[in-house]
Homo-oligomer: A and B are copies of this chain.
Amino acid sequence: MSWEENVRKVTPYTAGEQPSGKVIKLNTNECPYAPSPAVSERMRCLAEMEAGTGAGMLRKYPDMNATALVKAVSEVYGIPEDRIFAGVGSDDVLSMAFMAFFNSDTPVIFPDITYSFYDVWSELHRIPYRTLPLDEDFRIVPEDYLCDNGGVILPNPNAPTGVFEDPSVIEKIIDFNRDRVVIIDEAYVDFGGKSVLPLIDRYDNLLVVQTFSKSRALAGLRIGLAFGQEKLIGYLKDVKFAFNSYTMNVPAIELGAAAVRDTKYFEETVRKIIRTRERTKKELRALCFSFADSEANFVFAAHERKPAEEIFKELRARSIYVRWWNKPRISNHLRITIGTDEEMDTLFKALKEIVS
């Protein structure tokens, strides 16, 4: 016998490539612009404090409640602090929420085409699950979610499709499922969608998850948030603190707080990305791409003649990285992150050559 027999078997994860050198990186939905200048300002300030004599914050454990960040979010969003939970990116928040709320023998439900970690966390926490097919236009079939289940998770806008469902559609699902927790994953909601955050007043079974990795340009800091009524957030905290109390580090808490307070910069950044996205849609259409209308910071497009895999490889040869999955139903699609206008112009030029 060997110790290897007791090693946990996992399916290795394939992340979007993180190439170095001079490339155009449109494959991981990062923000093409820097975070708010308030972030570097605060970082300089923290550096000063650390350089001083003992006034620094790094030698001590971080505040496990991430109060500075939660307070800032509370003020900016107009939501009480005890309705806010912060974690190490929305991946951490979601995994924690799966663990906290999905403890039924009845399967949790989510779309067949969606964020690739939902089934991973279900398996990690031994949660039964069932996927519900999107329709031909990559839209959810709302009635499918009015069924017996152990919990619901829905991204809105969905990924990698970019398709957004109106809050009224989502509300019906939340309302039907009042005896289970419904998680709405709003990672991309800032790019033109409408949040269901106002619904937390009415539904104690609703958890809304957001992230600083996209619209706030802070993927490198790992900050995710969850919003819900006090009781729901309380349970989430209990689970988090029971297993690992100190996960968000001091820079994440402090720089995240600085970023969220700069509403003006945030709105400008989002506006720029939306403008570039709408221009991208026009250009892609002209090149004979089709796609469901996207309200995210990416477009999920298929070409009318040229297979996605070929386009993907030819772009890669030109140092332009987009995302392609060799998976049922979506293997002819490319997910293209919205970059700067200059980056997109280079993309359009390359695509013109590739598809003609």
Residues of A within 8 A of B (CB): 1-4, 6-8, 10-13, 15, 18, 25, 28, 30-35, 37, 39-41, 43-44, 46-48, 50-54, 56-64, 88-89, 91-92, 95, 99-104, 117, 120-121, 124, 126, 150-151, 178-181, 204-205, 213, 217-222, 231, 235, 238-239, 241-252, 255
B contact residues around A59 at 8 Å (CB)? 30-35, 217-220
Q: Interface on chain A toward B: helix, strand, loop, or mixed SS?
A: loop
Are A91 and B220 in contact (CB-based, < 8 A)? no
CB <8 Å contact, A47 and B50: no
A30-B59, A218-B59, A242-B13 as given contacts; A181 in contact with B249, CB under 8 Å: no
Beyond A59-B30, A251-B221, is A243–B7 a contact (Cβ under 8 Å)?
no
Q: Which residue of B lies closest to A252 (CB)?
A: B249
Contact between B221 and A249, CB atoms less than 8 A apart: yes
Q: Are A3 and B205 in contact, CB atoms less than 8 angstroms apart? A: yes
**Partner among B56, B62, B92, B218 whose Cβ is within 8 Å of the Cβ of A244:** B92
B43 touches A47 (CB 8 A): yes
Could you list 11 examples of A-B contacts with CB < 8 Å?
A: A3-B181, A6-B103, A6-B104, A13-B241, A18-B60, A35-B59, A41-B51, A44-B47, A58-B220, A58-B221, A222-B247
Add 7 more A-B contacts to A34-B58, A35-B50 (CB < 8 A). Answer: A6-B180, A10-B239, A12-B238, A40-B51, A44-B51, A61-B219, A91-B246
**Which among A57, A61, A99, A126 has the highest number of chain B CB atoms within 10 Å?**
A61
Most buried by B among A32, A59, A117: A59
The answer for the CA separation of A88 and B250 in the assembled complex, in Å, is 12
The residues of B that contact A28 with a CB separation of less than 8 Å are 60-61
Residue of chain B at shortest CB distance from A259 = B58
A15→B222 contact, CB < 8 A: no
Residues of B within 8 A of A205 (CB): 3
Does A58 lie within 8 Å of B46, measured CB to CB? no
The answer to whether B50 and A15 touch across the interface, beta carbons within 8 angstroms, is no
A1-B179 contact given A40-B47, A99-B8, CB 8 Å threshold = yes
Q: Which residues of the partner chain B approach A10 to less than 8 Å between Cβ atoms?
A: 238-239, 242-243
Pick from B6, B61, B246, B252: contact of A102, CB below 8 A: B6
Alpha-carbon gap, A107 to B296, bound state (A): 48
Chain B neighbourhood of A248, CB < 8 A: 222
* Ranked 3 nearest A-B pairs via Cβ: A40-B50, A251-B251, A43-B47
A7 CB contacts on chain B under 8 angstroms: 100-101, 103, 235
Beta-carbon contact of B33 and A39 below 8 Å: no
A172 to B: closest C-beta gap in Å: 17
Specify the chain B residue showing the minimal Cβ separation from A32.
B59
A249 is contacted by which of B15, B124, B249 (Cβ under 8 Å)? B249
Instruction: Please give, as numbers and ranges, the residues of chain B lying within 8 Å of A13 by CB-CB distance.
Output: 241-242, 245
Note all chain B residues with C-beta closer than 8 A to A31.
59
